[in-house]
């Protein structure tokens, strides 16, 4: 175990390490349904966002598939309490997700993400971000949440993870929204081109007018 802990220490930030591998971690054993790294982080470290560090400390663990009997390593430098996490705390967190149904598109129990399954051609991270988070710019956050996904190559059947903290709606994205958004995206380049041409036509010419050739007069008189 000490050898394994020493290997983990190399992957943690410097402030979360100690000089000795012994006593660096607190060990938590999953006992209740609904436990997740975010729930464990919230209880033991006092900050739900520390689940990222727990994921680094447990690289062989799938954050979205924690099962009963799994042992989770928690860096002692992050500890807020060593008291074992009670079932009441896990149940209280589970109540926050009580209205969510166990569907493919719903957040899975104990997960920090909402899951969207790509069903229609034309879907993109920007369209998905606009529907579920209300902000198209959140496509960058979705890219970070799905590191193995190529943003420009989303295919039907792909599953997209959306952080719960960004969710604006859990209603599945309808085909009509995808089609409408795709049409708007396609029309943008042509509109920009038209506007550019219009601007060019309306701009006054700054070229200097051609100079007039001097007039030549024929002189008449005695030769």
- The Cα 2–Cα 146 span in angstroms is 32
pLDDT tens sequence across 102-156:
333 444 444 688 889 999 999 999 999 999 999 999 999 999 999 988 888 889 9
Specify the range with the lowest mean pLDDT, choosing from 4-8, 46-50, 64-68: 4-8
For residue 173, the SS3 value is coil
- 197: in domain: no
Question: Is the domain of 147 the same as that of 179?
Answer: yes
Contact 139, 116 (CB under 8 A): no
Token pair in block for residue 147:
């590191």
Domain boundary residue, one of 55, 70, 90: 90
Domain boundary residue, one of 56, 90, 124: 90
Q: How many CB atoms lie within 10 A of CB 120?
A: 15
Domain count along the chain: 2
- 108: in domain: yes
pLDDT tens sequence across 90-104:
988 877 655 343 333
Question: Is the domain of 14 the same as that of 82?
Answer: yes
Find the CATH number of the domain harbouring 145: 3.10.350.10
Domain of residue 65: give its range: 2-90
- 212: in domain: no
H helix count then E strand count, the chain: 7, 4
What pLDDT score was predicted for residue 95?
74
pLDDT exceeds 90 at position 85 = yes
For residue 214, the SS3 value is coil
Beta bridge partners, 161, equal 115
Question: Is the domain of 156 the same as that of 122?
Answer: yes
- 213: in domain: no
What count of Cα atoms within 13 Å lies in the side-chain half-sphere of residue 167? 21
pLDDT exceeds 60 at position 208 = no
Token pair in block for residue 75:
């860096």
- 193: in domain: no
Question: Is the domain of 84 the same as that of 104?
Answer: no
- 192: in domain: no
Interhelix angle for 125-133 vs 175-202, to 10°? 110
pTM of the model: 0.40
Specify the range with the lowest mean pLDDT, choosing from 33-37, 66-70, 105-109, 111-115: 105-109
Instruction: Please enumerate, as own/partner, the contacts of 90-97 that have beta carbons within 8 Å and a separation of 24 or more.
Output: 90/32, 90/34, 90/35, 90/39, 91/32, 91/34, 93/34, 93/39, 93/42, 94/34
Question: Is the domain of 62 the same as that of 122?
Answer: no
- Which of 49-53, 90-94, 121-125, 211-215 is modeled with the greatest confidence? 121-125
Banded model confidence at residue 177, pLDDT cuts 50, 70, 90: very high
């Amino acid at each position: 175990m000490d050898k394994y802990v020493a290997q983990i220490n190399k992957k943690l930030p410097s402030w979360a390490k100690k000089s000795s591998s012994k006593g660096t971690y607190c060990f938590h054993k999953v006992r209740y349904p609904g436990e997740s790294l975010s729930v464990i982080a919230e209880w033991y470290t006092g900050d739900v966002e520390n689940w990222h560090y727990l994921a680094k400390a447990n690289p062989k663990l799938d954050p979205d598939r924690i099962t009963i009997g799994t042992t989770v390593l928690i860096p002692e430098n992050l500890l807020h309490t060593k008291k074992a996490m009670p079932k009441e705390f896990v149940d209280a967190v589970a109540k926050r997700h009580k209205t969510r149904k166990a569907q493919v598109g719903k957040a899975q129990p104990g997960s920090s993400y909402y899951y969207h399954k790509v069903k229609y051609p034309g879907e993109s991270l920007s369209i998905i971000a606009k529907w579920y988070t209300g902000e198209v710019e959140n496509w960058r956050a979705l890219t970070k949440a799905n590191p193995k996904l190529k943003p420009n190559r989303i295919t039907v059947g792909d599953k997209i993870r959306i952080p719960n903290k960004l969710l604006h709606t859990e209603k599945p994205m309808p085909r009509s929204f995808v089609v409408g958004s795709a049409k708007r995206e396609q029309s943008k380049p042509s509109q920009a081109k038209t506007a550019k041409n219009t601007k060019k036509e309306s701009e006054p010419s700054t070229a200097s007018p051609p100079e007039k050739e001097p007039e030549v007069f024929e002189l008449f008189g005695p030769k």
